[in-house]
Structure 1
């Protein structure tokens, strides 16, 4: 009998990456059985905006879409101050073209906008004028909401602003089938709204 091997989730890490933005996502993906592998510009250690030091599991050049189930791009000061992270946006283009999902939050959405990846997809970010400053052509596709998943292209694209790490996680967990239906709703209510009553739903489902 054949079994399906679950491919890892790849989480980009680079100097000044916003470590708080993807913590809910990676923690609950891991609890759901997904391996998380970090990807840096090189294999050299990077340091988050919170001072955490991370030695990447692999360098960006070694990452292939066919070896992954998702690419996560967190925000970072470098998205708006240099072109150093442009290779990650180009890698996101490779992933989407190959039908592999990408999830970007905060400054990473601006990186995708500069790469032209938001011109034809529904998306969100911190605020509309933040993306407008990139000069991109997707302003009419901007959605003023907590997080957006667009499935109109070959690969699904999740976007969110910096104040919505829980909504960002909700979209990713739904996309990869970790939680769904009332369980996903309860998860969101617990971690976003501190709704203690939602815990019972998760406990019954074995997700607590």
Structure 2
């Protein structure tokens, strides 16, 4: 299914962070439909060395983190990974997220990446969600009163979601970037989240 995006003005690359143990299932809807909307998806690693996802996929980064500038990007996506909870190896990605947000460029974080942002202090003053509230509370962050019990949250230029909500995560990103809107955005979500056959008809009509 191919849909034309609602807006075509900004087609800067979208940067997908890649690192060992990244959760394959969390960002596929997002990147696939951003690519169909005309965004180049570029993988970014700490170095140029290949990484391997939790599902065993070998990924060769397109660029290194030091080479990514917010002004040249439409979005930074941070997937979950075991490494977010086993040390500070992925902390540079959270610091890069700070650069993006301070430059008013969107960031989308899911699962363990939300803990990385919490440790960086980026969730202290923003509404957010994640896997579960006590998971983020264990980071010692100060944003517990801004935690929202829902599938995905957008606050300003930041999207957050838990590991079981890749479709809601994608929906929030599409809305933030203006890729799909209104009835079409709702239909896309209902098709992929609820297997609503009637939603398919709406998307087909929009594609024509």
Q: Quickly name the TM-score band, shorter chain normalised.
A: over 0.9
Q: What TM-score do the two structures reach when normalised by structure 2?
A: 0.95
Higher relative contact order (CA 8 A, sep 6+): 2
Task: Indicate which of 119, 123, 127 corresponds to 2:128.
Answer: 123
What is the distance in 1 between the residues matched to 2:101 and 2:178?
19
Task: Indicate which of 116, 121, 126 corresponds to 1:111.
Answer: 116
Q: Runs of 4 or more off by more than 3 Å in structure 1?
A: none
Q: CA deviation at 1:175?
A: 0.9
Q: Which runs of 5+ in 1 are unaligned?
A: none
1:65 equivalent to 2:70? Answer: yes
Change (3 A) 1:183 1:70: same
1:133 equivalent to 2:143? Answer: no
Q: CA deviation at 1:4?
A: 5.3
Deviations 1:68-91 (A, max 9, x none): 010000000000011100000000
What is the distance in 2 between the residues matched to 1:150 and 1:29?
20
Deviations 1:18-66 (A, max 9, x none): 0110000000101111110000010110000000001000000111111
What is the distance in 2 between the residues matched to 1:111 and 1:123?
13
Q: CA deviation at 1:178?
A: 1.1
Q: What TM-score do the two structures reach when normalised by structure 1?
A: 0.95
Partner of 2:193: 192
Q: Which runs of 5+ in 2 are unaligned?
A: 1-7
Give the length in aligned residue pairs. Answer: 201
1:8 equivalent to 2:13? Answer: yes
